[in-house]
Amino acid sequence: MALQRLTQIPVQGVSSVQQLSAFYGIAVVLSSGLIALGGSLSLVVGEEYYRQYLFINMWLGYWAFEALGMLLFLPLLWPLLASPATLKQQLVEDFEPLAMRVWLALLVLLTSATLAFDLLQSAAYASIALLVYFPLLFWFFLRATVSSSVCMIALLMIGLIVCVLYGWAGLNPINTVQDLLDTIALAIVVTLAAQLVNVMAQERNRLLKHFRRQAVTDSLTGLGNDRALRHQLERLLKKKRHGYLAYLRMMDFGSLTDLFGLEAMHKLERELSAGLNQQLPDGSQYFRLSEGDLAALLIAVPQQADELYVQLRQLHQRLEQQAFSVGGQPVRLRLALGLVRIDGQLANASLYQQAAAQVAYQASQQPRRWYQLDNTTELIELQHNNARVFHQLRQALREDRFLLYAQPIQALQPQRPGRYFEVLLRMADEQNNIVSPGVFLPVAEQTGLMVDIDRWVISHTLQQLQPQEVACCSINLSGASVSTPDTLSFIRLRIEQSLLAATQLRFEITETENITDLEAATGLVKGLRRLGCSVALDDFGTGLASYAYLKQFDFDCIKIDGQFIRDVNDSVADQAIVRSICQVAQQQKLTVVAEFVEDESSIPLLGELGVNFFQGYAISRPQPLTLWLADALSQ
Domains of the chain listed by start with CATH number: 2-213 (no CATH), 226-374 (3.30.70.270), 386-634 (3.20.20.450)
**Confidence check: pLDDT of 76 > 70:** no
pLDDT of residue 18: 62
3-state secondary structure 509-548: EECCCCCCCHHHHHHHHHHHHHHCCEEEEEEECCCCCHHH
Amino acid at 628: W
Taking the C-alpha atoms of residue 447 and residue 145, their distance in angstroms, rounded to an integer, is 52
- What is the rounded (10 degree) CA torsion for 507, 511, 513, 515? 80
Q: Rounded to the nearest 5 degrees, what angle is found at the Cα of 572, between the Cα atoms of 566 and 574?
A: 40
3 state DSSP class of 435: strand
The span from the CA of 24 to the CA of 71, in Å, is 8
What is the band of 585 on the pLDDT scale with cuts at 50, 70, 90? very high
- Cα–Cα distance for residue pair 317/335, rounded to 1 Å: 9
> Which of 363-367, 455-459, 477-481 shows the lowest mean pLDDT across its residues?
363-367
Q: If pLDDT is split at 50, 70 and 90, which confidence band does 125 have? A: low
Q: In Å, how far are 118, 148, 258, 589 from 511, measured between CA atoms?
A: 89, 66, 14, 19
Q: What is the mean pLDDT of residues 29-56?
A: 76
Average confidence (pLDDT) over 286-305: 83
Mean local confidence (pLDDT), 411-415 = 76
Q: Summarize pLDDT for 209-255 with one digit per residue, the tens.
A: 888 888 888 888 888 899 999 998 888 888 878 788 999 999 888 88
- Integer Rg of the chain from CA: 40
Per-residue pLDDT at 516 exceeds 50: yes
Residue 256: band (very low, low, confident or very high) from pLDDT cuts 50, 70, 90: confident
CB burial readout 61-76, b (16+ within 10 A) else e: bbbbbbbbebbbbbbb
pLDDT of residue 188: 77
Look at strands 534-540 and 335-342 and give their pairing.
unpaired
C-beta atoms surrounding 546 within 10 Å: 19
Cα(228)–Cα(212) distance, rounded to whole angstroms?
Answer: 10
Helix axes 55-82, 31-46, angle to 10 degrees: 130
For residue 631, pLDDT over 60 is answered with: yes
The pLDDT value recorded for residue 326 is 82
- Rounded to an integer, the average pLDDT of 76-85 is 73
Report d(CA 61, CA 184) in Å as an integer.
Answer: 9
Per DSSP bridges, beta strands 335-342 and 370-373 are parallel
Task: For residue 55, name the pLDDT band (cuts at 50, 70, 90).
Answer: confident
Report, as an integer, the average pLDDT of 304-321.
83
- The percentage of the chain sitting over the pLDDT mark of 70, rounded to a whole number, equals 88
Q: What is the pLDDT of residues 132-186, one digit of tens each?
A: 877 888 888 888 887 788 788 888 878 877 887 777 776 777 777 677 777 777 7
- 506-526 average pLDDT score: 78
> What pLDDT does residue 5 have?
43
Q: Is 370 helix (H, G, I), strand (E, B) or coil?
A: strand
Helix 146-166 and helix 84-94, axial crossing angle in degrees, nearest 10: 80
- Contacts (Cβ under 8 Å, ≥6 apart) of 567: 574
Query: Rounded distance, CA 338 to CA 387, Å?
Result: 21
- Asked whether the beta carbons of 72 and 157 are under 8 A apart, the reply is yes
> Which are the contacts of 350, defined by CB distance < 8 A and separation ≥ 6?
230
CA distance 481 to 473: 18
Higher pLDDT, residue 306 or 21: 306
pLDDT at site 533: 96
Asked if residue 355 lies in contact with residue 372, where contact means CB atoms within 8 angstroms, the answer is no
Biggest alpha carbon–alpha carbon distance for the chain? 138
pLDDT band with cut points at 50, 70 and 90 for residue 575: very high
Torsion sign, CA atoms 96, 97, 100, 104:
positive
Greater confidence (180 vs 291) lies with 291
State residue 385's pLDDT score: 87
| Residues 578/561, Cβ–Cβ less than 8 Å | no
The span from the CA of 123 to the CA of 117, in Å, is 7
User: How far apart, in whole angstroms, are the C-alpha atoms of residue 569 and residue 606?
Assistant: 9
Question: Among 172-186, 270-284, 542-556, 598-612, which range has the highest average pLDDT?
Answer: 598-612
428 vs 521, residue with greater confidence: 428
Sign of the dihedral through C-alpha 535, 540, 542, 548? positive
How far apart CA 503 and CA 153 sit, in angstroms, is: 90
pLDDT at 6: 39
- 477 vs 169 pLDDT, higher one: 477
Distance in angstroms between the alpha carbons of the first and the last residue of the chain:
98
Compute the residue count for the chain. Answer: 635
The residues, any chain, with a CB within 8 Å of residue 354's CB and separated by 6 or more, are none
Q: Mean pLDDT lowest for which of 157-161, 274-278, 385-389, 452-456? A: 274-278
Is residue 155 within 8 A of residue 21, CB to CB? The reply is no
Phi, psi dihedral angles at 566 (to 5 degrees):
-55, -45
96 residue type, one letter: E
Residue partners of 553: CB distance under 8 A and separation at least 6: 509, 521, 522, 525, 535, 537
Phi first, then psi, for residue 35 (nearest 5°) are -65, -45
Whole-angstrom distance, CA of residue 423 vs CA of residue 437 = 12
Helix, strand, coil percentages in the chain from 3-state DSSP, rounded to 5: 60, 15, 25
538: nearest Cα among 412, 424, 369, 405: 424
Task: Name 475's bridge partners.
Answer: 507
Which residues does 579 contact at the CB level (< 8 Å), separation at least 6? Answer: 609, 610
Average the pLDDT over 417-435 and give the result. 88
Q: Which residues pair with 297 in a beta bridge?
A: 245, 285
Q: Which of 151, 132, 136 is nearest to 103 (CA)?
A: 136
| Mean of all residue pLDDT scores within the chain | 83
Distances from the Cα of 328 to the Cα of 56, 264, 621, angstroms: 76, 9, 46
| pLDDT greater than 50 at residue 9 | no
- Residues with Cβ within 8 Å of 511's Cβ and at least 6 positions away in sequence, in order, are 537, 538, 539, 540, 541, 542, 543, 545, 546, 549
